[in-house]
Amino acid sequence: MRPRLPPLNALKAFEAAARHESFTRAAEELCVTQGAVSHQVKALEAELAVKLFNRERQRLIITEAGREYLAVVRDALDRIAIGTERLLQRQNSGVLTVSTSPDFAAKWLVHRLGNFVEAHAGIDLRVSATLHHVDFAREEVDLAVRHGDGNWPGLDAVRLSPEQLFAVCSPKLLSSRKRLGKPADLLKFPLIHMDSRADWDSWLQEAGVDRGAVTHGPVLNRASMVIDAAINGQGIALARTTLAAWDLLKGHLVRPFALSLPLSKTYWIVCPKATASLPKIVTFRDWLLAEATRDLRQLQKKGARKT
């Protein structure tokens, strides 16, 4: 059984009074009244049954027993202070392991990592690209970027940004002999599909184009492959805002038509609720949100300049 320890406030009052040789100055340092410091010291003396100070002619004189005890108390408080500082440093810096999908890592995160590392050199960022949803209780992962509806019980989830689905292609296609004047003109080009042809069916239906004609074009199983194929001029693809933002802003992709479909499933920043307020997690989450907000603002400006 751990021996009983004196109250921490009493030890702090004793150490400050001994250092200043004054209850008044100790009270000023601790932001309490002089009477409160005197009371704490008297209570400590009573609990220890040892006189720690002599009061002589309005002076505070530490006793020999008090001097010996002061060395012990000061060492203990210093150790607590050092340990606390180290703990806070680990929370603010150190290793931060982030899990995300290969698509998000390749088309969004990797382009921006240099900015984060430069601004937050104290955080040792580790990125794990995986298709499965990590188990925070079993895996050494601090934070994840997941795609879904944001409903993950027990986890803190913050949406990265709203998203839409729209047509994209290489700027080279717009300068080809096959003109893209109206949505139906898309059918002159190969249409690049993601998993199935359902997304193109929905988009073309919204555009008023006969969906029955959508039987051509490759079907790929990764969004990053779809975007890269479009960049390479292999056809026209449908892309979501987050994954296409970088290439749109850099001019690798263009939107031939303004029509877009809202998406209910988006990217979310998730972590255990118990660690959601750790400084290094807050820092990375705030950075992700700031980058996503900047993307949307720049995309809106880019769209406005075209109209």
Q: Is the Cβ–Cβ distance between 129 and 107 less than 8 Å?
A: no
Within 21-125, residue ranges assigned H as helices are 23-30, 34-48, 64-92, 102-104, 110-119
- In angstroms, rounded to a whole number, what is the distance separating the alpha carbons of residues 51 and 65? 7
Q: Is the Cβ–Cβ distance between 224 and 104 less than 8 Å?
A: no
Give pLDDT tens digits for 149-170. 999 998 999 999 999 999 999 9
Question: Tokens in use for 228?
Answer: 């890269």
Q: In the chain, where do the E strands start and end?
A: 53-56, 59-62, 94-100, 123-129, 143-148, 155-159, 164-168, 191-194, 219-220, 236-240, 260-262, 266-272
The sign of the CA dihedral 254, 257, 261, 262 is positive
Residue 57: is its pLDDT beyond 80?
no
Q: Assign 167 to helix, strand or coil.
A: strand
- Domain ranges within the chain, ordered by starting residue: 8-91, 93-163+265-306, 164-262
- CATH code of the domain made up of 93-163+265-306: 3.40.190.10
Identical fold for domains 93-163+265-306 and 164-262, yes or no, is yes
CATH architecture of 164-262: 3-Layer(aba) Sandwich (3.40)
Query: Does domain 8-91 correspond to CATH entry 1.10.10.10?
Result: yes
68 burial (CB, 10 Å; 0-12 / 13-18 / 19+) is exposed
pTM assigned to the model:
0.69
| CB neighbours of residue 153 within 10 Å | 5
pLDDT at 85: 63
Question: How far is CA 251 from each of CA 110, 117, 159, rounded to the nearest angstrom?
Answer: 18, 25, 26
pLDDT at 307: 38
pLDDT at 63: 93
Question: Tokens in use for 169?
Answer: 């292609």
Mean pLDDT of 51-76: 89
